[in-house]
């Protein structure tokens, strides 16, 4: 089918105003939060499952690949579309369809913003636990595609632990349901396979998620340390006590200064690192665990321990953590983020490797990360206008990915593989491993028409060389 014919058919489904095809209008859809970019053939904005199904069926019949797009905050190139591809975006499908307080569930459309769901659920004494740092902007559809995490996923699990069922459109436009209303289902766990498939299996159009009751008591600690090594020791000590906090985050000295330059989060400017630790539960439980956490912090060399119980105090500390990556704009105009995971006991080793790579490549690297589960976010800060600097950043990232794999870790804790890490997959998987994964994908999308070119190494990229760099202002990690 010729392009004008396809566009005309798409407009007949969603309306003229909801098919974007003019090159200038497409500029905002050529990138996400990654360094990759490619302009799609067109972007379609359906308003319902039926419209989305018809759009995807038309693209399938025309032999055109389709990429789903949420809010565009992804950090691995998951929403980047091949030059001949069609992008299907969901700002018009952003309704919270139902809150079931008795069963503690919410039924939502894919365009619902993560924080909007959480805020709405709190009106009923409930909450949605997964909280990516892009929570104010990221959508539930994108969270499902990437199996998004967040600080509080240490205790409560990532997106896959909170999705009960989904309505999904396959590559030919067929609509299927995965999972069920019940907690347990029979047969294959296709819901579990779908979450984290990065848009290569299908596109979710309705998502049933589990809600949790609001905790009776919340207490947040700020552990202040002279250096990263002692802060890492404290992480192991807390977990070693058998305590799994709701959140356990680390922020290094460079990041502290960047945050404090833009907002007073209450972090001391002279600290080498701080730990942000949050406990949740019954009053008695939080009181008991608080004493153990505080003792562990002092025993591992904390210079100071501060405790916040009031909502305003806790919010202030978390604002600093969740706006850190935007604050890096005061240091450099561009950044490139690595999302690797190592065992908690290897954090100190890995952070020393980050420091060594930083000095060797002459690139400033800041560290703000989920220390409790070993999910690091080394953030390379630079000015992309400097010749060769982007190549250095990519080479440094490759070394860090290789080190994570060598330490028994993996390539991503929450951002996905996408385009940015697909060539690193052989570091952790054999050819047979990846062939088995591709067979699973082919069971859902045998023609590979959904988000092609992602996850599996093929030696190709969509972005030009040198890679266009991500700008810090207003983006999240």
pLDDT for 195-252, tens place per residue?
999 999 999 999 999 999 999 999 999 999 999 999 999 999 999 989 999 999 999 9
Whole-model pTM over 0.75: yes
- Using DSSP's 3-state secondary structure scheme, residue 467 falls into coil
Instruction: Give the pLDDT score at 3.
Output: 67
Q: What is the distance between the alpha carbons of residues 475 and 128, in angstroms, rounded to a whole number?
A: 22
pLDDT for the residue numbered 1: 52
- Residue-level pLDDT at 156: 96
- pLDDT-derived band at 469 (thresholds 50, 70, 90) equals very low
Is the pLDDT score of 112 beyond 50?
yes
The answer to whether the CB of 146 falls within 8 A of the CB of 194 is: no
- Whole-angstrom CA distances from 449 to 44, 174, 214, 452 are 16, 13, 41, 6
Laid out side by side, the sheet with 273-281 consists of 304-308, 217-225, 273-281, 247-252, 364-369, 378-382, 334-337, 470-471
Cα 450–Cα 455–Cα 461 angle in degrees, nearest 5: 90
- pLDDT value at residue 466: 36
Which band of pLDDT confidence, cut at 50, 70 and 90, is reported for residue 34? confident
Query: What's the sign of the alpha-carbon dihedral 41, 467, 144, 281?
Result: negative
Q: Are 193 and 440 in contact (CB under 8 A)?
A: yes
Q: How far apart are CA 119 and CA 103, in angstroms?
A: 18
N- to C-terminal Cα distance for the chain? 39
**Residue 147, pLDDT score:** 97
Q: What is the DSSP letter of 448?
A: -
pLDDT tens digits, 370-409 = 999 999 999 999 998 999 998 999 999 999 999 999 999 9
Local confidence band at 460 (pLDDT 50, 70, 90 cut-offs): low
Domains of the chain: 96-213 (3.30.465.10), 217-326 (3.30.70.2190), 332-414+424-428 (3.30.70.2740)
Q: Per-residue pLDDT for 417 more than 70?
A: yes
- Asked if residue 429 lies in contact with residue 159, where contact means CB atoms within 8 angstroms, the answer is no
pLDDT average, residue stretch 243-272: 96
Average pLDDT over residues 304-313: 92
Query: Is the pLDDT reported for residue 471 higher than 50?
Result: no
Please report which confidence band the pLDDT of residue 353 belongs to, taking 50, 70 and 90 as the band edges.
very high
Q: Tell me, what DSSP letter sits at residue 292?
A: H
Report which DSSP code applies to 86.
Answer: E
Helix axes 228-240, 347-361, angle to 10 degrees: 160
pLDDT, average across residues 23-50: 94
Proportion of the chain in helix, strand, coil states, percent, rounded to 5? 40, 20, 40
Q: Is the dihedral of CA 67, 68, 72, 76 positive or negative?
A: negative
List the structure tokens of 339: 């999302």
39 has pLDDT over 70: yes
Distance CA 185, CA 81 (A): 34
Which tokens in the block code for residue 146? 């990437």
Angle between helices 228-240 and 283-299 (to 10 degrees): 140
Peptide bond into 466 cis (omega under 30): yes
Average of per-residue pLDDT across 309-328: 91
Strand partners, 100: 105
Token pair in block for residue 171: 């590559």
Report the alpha-carbon distance of residue 381 to residue 391 in Å, rounded: 13
Which region, left, alpha or beta, applies to residue 196 given φ > 0 means left and ψ of -120 to 50 means alpha? left
Q: How far apart are CA 144 and CA 202, in angstroms?
A: 11
DSSP symbols for 141-163: HHHHHHT---TTHHHH--GGGTE
- Of 116, 122, 172, 164, the C-alpha closest to 140 is 116
pLDDT at 475 over 70: no
């Amino acid at each position: 089918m010729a392009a004008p014919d396809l566009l005309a058919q798409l407009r007949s489904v969603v309306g003229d105003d909801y098919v974007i095809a003019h090159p200038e209008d497409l500029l905002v859809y050529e990138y996400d939060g990654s360094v990759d970019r490619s302009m799609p053939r067109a972007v379609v904005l359906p308003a319902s499952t039926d419209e989305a199904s018809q759009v995807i069926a038309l693209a399938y019949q025309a032999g055109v690949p389709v990429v789903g797009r949420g809010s565009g905050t992804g950090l691995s190139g998951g929403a980047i579309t091949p030059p001949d591809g069609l992008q299907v975006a969901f700002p018009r499908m952003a309704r919270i369809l139902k809150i079931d307080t008795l069963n503690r569930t919410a039924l939502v459309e894919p365009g619902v913003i993560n924080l909007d769901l959480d805020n709405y659920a709190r009106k009923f004494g409930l909450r949605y636990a997964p909280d990516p740092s892009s929570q104010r902007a990221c959508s539930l559809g994108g969270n499902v595609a990437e199996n998004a995490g967040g600080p509080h996923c240490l205790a409560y699990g990532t997106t896959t632990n909170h999705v009960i069922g989904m309505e999904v459109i396959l590559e030919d436009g067929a609509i299927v349901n995965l999972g069920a209303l019940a907690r347990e289902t029979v047969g294959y766990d296709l819901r579990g396979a779908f979450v984290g498939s990065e848009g290569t299996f299908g596109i979710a159009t309705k998502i049933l998620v589990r809600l949790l009751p609001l905790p009776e008591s919340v207490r947040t600690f700020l552990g202040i340390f002279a250096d990263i090594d002692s802060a890492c020791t404290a992480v192991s000590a807390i977990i070693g006590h058998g305590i799994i906090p709701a959140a356990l985050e680390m922020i290094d000295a460079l990041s502290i200064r960047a945050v404090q330059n833009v907002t007073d989060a209450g972090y001391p400017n002279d600290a080498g690192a701080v730990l942000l630790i949050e406990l949740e539960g019954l009053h008695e439980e939080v009181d008991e665990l608080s004493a153990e956490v505080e003792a562990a912090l002092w025993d591992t060399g904390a210079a100071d321990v501060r405790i916040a119980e009031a909502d305003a105090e806790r919010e202030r500390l978390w604002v600093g953590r969740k706006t850190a990556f935007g604050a890096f704009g005061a240091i450099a105009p561009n950044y490139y983020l690595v999302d690797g995971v190592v065992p908690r006991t290897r954090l100190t080793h890995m952070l020393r490797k980050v420091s060594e790579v930083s000095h060797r490549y002459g690139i400033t690297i800041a560290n703000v990360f989920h220390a409790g589960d070993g999910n690091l976010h080394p953030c390379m800060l630079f000015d992309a206008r400097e010749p060769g600097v982007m190549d250095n950043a990519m080479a440094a990232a490759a070394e860090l990915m290789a080190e994570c794999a060598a330490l028994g870790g993996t390539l991503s804790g929450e951002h996905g593989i996408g385009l940015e890490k697909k060539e690193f997959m052989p570091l952790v998987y054999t050819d047979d491993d990846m062939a088995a994964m591709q067979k699973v994908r082919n069971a859902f999308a045998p023609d590979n028409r959904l988000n092609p070119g992602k996850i599996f190494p093929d030696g190709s990229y969509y972005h030009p060389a040198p890679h266009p760099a991500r700008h810090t202002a207003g983006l999240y990690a």
